[in-house]
Structure 1
Amino acid sequence: MEFKDKNILILGLGISGISTAKALYKLGARITVSDLRKEDELKENISQIEGLNIDLLLGTNDVPLDDIDLIVKSPGIPLNIDILKKAYKKNIQVVTDLELAYKINPNANLIVITGTNGKTTTTTLVGEFFKKAGYTTHVVGNIGVGLLWNLVNSNEEDIFVIEASSFQLENTMDFKPKVSLILNITPDHLNWHNTLENYIKAKKKVFINQGKNEFTILNYDDQLLRKMEGEVKSNLIWFSVDNILTKGVYTQDDYIVINDGVKTHKVIKSEDVKILGKHNLENALGAVAIGWIMGLDVDIMKEVLSEFPGVEHRIEYVTTIKGVNFYNDSKGTNPDASTKAIEAIKPPIILIAGGQDKGSDFEDFILAFNDKVKTLILLGETKEKIKNTALKLGFNNIYIVNNMEEAVNKSFEVSESGDNVLLSPACASWDMYSSFEMRGEDFKRAVYRLKEE
């Protein structure tokens, strides 16, 4: 697709918006950026495009569309805002950076990882595989690094490992990565997608255009994903923690193994994978499947798996105070993710949960306590909703607090040596924080203040 002299409107000057603006400017497009935030809120962002001839319309998205050829929206912007409704009426194409990446370079080595949970850990792990193997590797996307600026400055042999959210995938049409991986699907972002069916449809877009020259990797243990087999037109590779497969990546006799359909190859003992929990074993299997079909050496994958510590805010060990261990799982932004964190941590657990309501149901989350959680400390928008669900299910040892410092102090007050305090909110952070990262940092600061006392 030719971008020179095209009039392109970018909605949102966040990480993806900045990367998109710089990339399209380099390709010769005429760019307008609109953001509802005002200039004083965007000083740092604006500084990253300083010197570029880009029109900025800040504090509004009431933008004339008469001459606009294409709109690139930041992933989290809802599809039902007025400016996008006007664009659809004028038949102006609206895309996110994923679709644009494919339009810019359909031959790029794009490996795309999605799913409800585990995306960031798996994306980072796969990136480490390729870096260790000597490839110039770009770990980008929903992980917090802009895709397009990296893409337009890359070489043909570079590898792109992309974490993709349902928001990014929603507005793709022709997008077709070389390798796609869906780790799992459970209800999430229903306040944005409205229904589980819409959410699943968005996730499917990662493989829907792939053909006989591409690969799709799915989790065989996920019933929703197993039902998608008939919709996959590419080379389908399964991975499984619970099942022996005739071909694919799975666990057998306490090893991660690759079965190429003819021979089985041992990769590493499951217990030697450094990241904790069954869910992280699933993440490792998905990553190994990518490495296998991309021709990476098994010994390289083994070495990385034995050393990779995980990523910040995902069951991250913080410190121990008087025999009480503190873990930061702020990335537990839905009930399923937090359930997996509970499964990974040894009891007794003092759990800190609550945050923005995404329309989730918390019954299965409470049932997953399974005598492992001894105390529940709740904060945020959902605190009463979770409390009422817990009481209905017979869990009564609950404290309500107003902020993270109170939550951490209360957790230590009710703890005993040998307890594990786990922040895993089961909710988004946006009721109290700008991101789950900020929430996790606040938790860690509160813990370290406690240690200083």
Structure 2
Amino acid sequence: MMRDEVKGKKILVVGMGKSGKAAVQELHKLGAQVVAQDVHTVDAVDPKFAKYLEKEGVPALFECNPDNMGEYDLVVISPGVSPDLSFLQEARLSGVEVIGELELAYRLSKGTFIAITGTNGKTTTTTLVGKIFEKARRKTAVVGNIGVAVVSKALESTEDEWMVTEASSFQLETVKEFHAKVSAILNLTPDHLNRHKTMEAYGAAKAQVFRNQDENDYLVINYDDKTCFALAEKCKATVVPFSRKEELKMGAFLQDDEMVIRDENGIVRPICSIHDLKIIGDHNVENALAAAAISFFAGVDPESIREAIVEFPGVEHRIEYCGLVDGVKFYNDSKGTNVDAAVIALKALKERIILIAGGDGKAQNFTELAENLQGRVKALVLLGRDANQIEACARKVRFDAIYNEKDMNACVKKCMELAEEGDKVLLSPACASWDMYDNYEQRGDHFKACVQQLLC
């Protein structure tokens, strides 16, 4: 169902998060008979949005599940909604198509898609690709899991526009026709296993990013992450590896400390030195290599790539420097919502770290985090629902400098008590935020507000 086929169709939108609300509004503009649904109360969803629904005459089902699923022409689900819910199964059995917001946006958009996925680094890489395209004067929308619903930009997109899209596994598991000119898988480590159950299922969801690509398209993928790179075996597109560790016959890699791209004809194009990067850590070298490869094989010139990369300061909530208090540096890595991301942050800051961690653990195993504490972390300050799981893993490796606090303000105060000049306080929770906050941005903003109180 494309944009000219939507008018008059009865469409159920499930889940009134950011993307669900955007889907309702865009479909309503096109003349669809939209029904909004969410299991939460109107006030819990968004009172302002409730007023919009009332004003526009859009029916809504709050605090309940829909029935009579066969009466709908299409069902659109938000990323946070499990596709296995019983009423969604009923819809499929009734012959009703069930898609996600990303798939809907693709069908409504006229733009060309770049889709970037992976366990970690998506937001940094997506933002950087957007900056590169802007530098190259390409018409660009940076959308997706980065915080701007893809569908909110779909109707205004034009044929010369690039939709640079951060795509989560939740978004990708419901795609059908979605087709990216350039796709990317940055890495693959355990995450969201409470939803996907197994690493195989998680990897399969990520691989959906290239399901409809062909030999005229490109897949940029991490050569150093063998679990990730193995996904490319099923890809029909031209595979473009990137590597921080090895020289490649084609793709993006390092020659000494220089980032370069070798094209399909074997010509090597220099980009910049890794010492020119403002973003810190080996993981950010990988993100920059991926962004360079994505942009180059989408047709951007090397000079625009170089200029954007060396100017790029990083993104909010990703090892973000927040200030210096009595010789102690504070870093906000609230986007570190899984073990691998937290370990990456520890390795980037190297030593003399006081780590704040904890939250909704998403059924992860925290052993790897615990194994990376010794020699890097002076003290571990924990909060949130699954703090006890992190503590148990830390004590198994005989790390005992552990402090449990009730909230973020208490954590920051405890860190300041423990810190000495030259230390670094790092918020990198290794957990989702949903047990205490609406999202990781809210958590990171609270941390920064607590740090600002110390600066006053």
Deviation per residue, 1:19-56 (Å, 9 max, x gap): 21222223332111112232333222345567534222
Aligned residue for 2:252? 249
CA contact 1:127–1:138 (8 Å) conserved in 2 = yes
Q: Which stretch has the larger CA shift, 414-423 or 145-154?
A: 145-154
Which of the numbers 142, 147, 153 marks the counterpart of 1:144? Answer: 147
Deviation per residue, 1:118-168 (Å, 9 max, x gap): 111111111111112112211111111111231111211011001111000
CA contact 2:14–2:37 (8 Å) conserved in 1 = yes
Aligned residue for 1:209? 212
Instruction: Give the gaps of 5 or more residues in structure 2.
Output: none
Which of the numbers 436, 442, 445 marks the counterpart of 2:440? Answer: 436
CA contact 1:429–1:436 (8 Å) conserved in 2 = yes
Aligned residue for 1:320? 324
Which of the numbers 427, 430, 440 marks the counterpart of 1:423? Answer: 427
Which of the numbers 26, 29, 36 marks the counterpart of 2:29? Answer: 26
Q: How many Å separate the matches in 1 of 2:66 and 2:7?
A: 25
Q: How many Å separate the matches in 2 of 1:82 and 1:34?
A: 15
Which of the numbers 348, 361, 364 marks the counterpart of 2:365? Answer: 361
Aligned residue for 1:288? 292
Please list, as runs of the form range in 1=range in 2, the aligned pairs for 1:392-411 lying within 5 A after superposition: 392-411=396-415
The alignment partner of 1:206 has SS state of helix
Q: How many Å separate the matches in 1 of 2:105 and 2:454?
A: 46
Q: Which stretch has the larger CA shift, 439-448 or 83-92?
A: 83-92
For the pair 1:278 / 2:302, whether they are aligned, the reply is no
Aligned residue for 2:345? 341
Q: How many Å separate the matches in 1 of 2:232 and 2:384?
A: 40
For the pair 1:86 / 2:74, whether they are aligned, the reply is no
Please list, as runs of the form range in 1=range in 2, the aligned pairs for 1:222-241 lying within 5 A after superposition: 222-241=225-244
CA contact 1:172–1:205 (8 Å) conserved in 2 = yes
For the pair 1:390 / 2:375, whether they are aligned, the reply is no
Q: How many Å separate the matches in 1 of 2:301 and 2:178?
A: 29
Which of the numbers 381, 389, 402 marks the counterpart of 2:385? Answer: 381
For the pair 1:309 / 2:310, whether they are aligned, the reply is no
CA contact 1:18–1:49 (8 Å) conserved in 2 = no
The alignment partner of 1:300 has SS state of helix
C-alpha deviation, 1:108, in angstroms = 2.8
Q: Which stretch has the larger CA shift, 320-329 or 60-69?
A: 60-69
Q: Which stretch has the larger CA shift, 350-359 or 77-86?
A: 77-86
The alignment partner of 1:205 has SS state of helix
Deviation per residue, 1:386-411 (Å, 9 max, x gap): 11111111211111111111111111
Q: How many Å separate the matches in 1 of 2:64 and 2:278?
A: 47
Q: How many Å separate the matches in 1 of 2:337 and 2:51?
A: 31
CA contact 1:18–1:146 (8 Å) conserved in 2 = no
Deviation per residue, 1:369-397 (Å, 9 max, x gap): 24011111111112111111111112111
C-alpha deviation, 1:234, in angstroms = 0.7
**Aligned partner letter, 1:379:** L
Shift >6 Å, 4+ stretches: none
C-alpha root-mean-square deviation of aligned residues, in Å?
A: 1.5
CA contact 1:14–1:45 (8 Å) conserved in 2 = no
**Aligned partner letter, 1:194:** K
Aligned residue for 2:164? 161
Q: How many Å separate the matches in 2 of 1:439 and 1:73?
A: 26
Q: How many Å separate the matches in 2 of 1:45 and 1:164?
A: 25
C-alpha deviation, 1:62, in angstroms = 2.7
Aligned residue for 1:101? 105
Q: How many Å separate the matches in 2 of 1:229 and 1:77?
A: 28
Q: How many Å separate the matches in 2 of 1:360 and 1:173?
A: 29
Aligned residue for 2:64? 60
The alignment partner of 1:66 has SS state of helix
Q: How many Å separate the matches in 2 of 1:230 and 1:441?
A: 41
Identity of aligned residues (%): 45
CA contact 1:22–1:49 (8 Å) conserved in 2 = no
Q: How many residues align?
A: 451
